[in-house]
Amino acid sequence: TECKRRWRLLRDAFVRSKKQKKMPSGSAGGTVKEWKYERVMSFLLPHMQVRRLVYVRC
């Protein structure tokens, strides 16, 4: 279970680092520093999917 928890933390951090780089050009802030494991975790890129939010109206 500890291994699964650590894997989830690494995967989530990788996804967050990719989202930060996708910020619109007009957003505040300067350059985003690359996460230290971003290059070694890049093998995940072909397996990542963009999830679209679906809003349900009642």
Handedness of CA 12, 14, 20, 23 (dihedral sign): negative
Per-residue confidence of the chain (58 residues) as pLDDT tens digits?
A: 999 999 999 999 999 998 888 776 665 666 778 889 999 999 999 988 877 777 888 7
In this predicted structure, what is the pLDDT of residue 32?
73
pLDDT of residue 21: 81
Which are the contacts of 56, defined by CB distance < 8 A and separation ≥ 6? none
Beta strands in the chain (DSSP E): none
Domain ranges of the chain: 2-47
Q: What is the pLDDT, as a whole number, of residue 57? A: 82
Residue 54 is predicted with a pLDDT of 79
Sign for the pseudo-dihedral over CA of 25, 26, 30, 36: negative
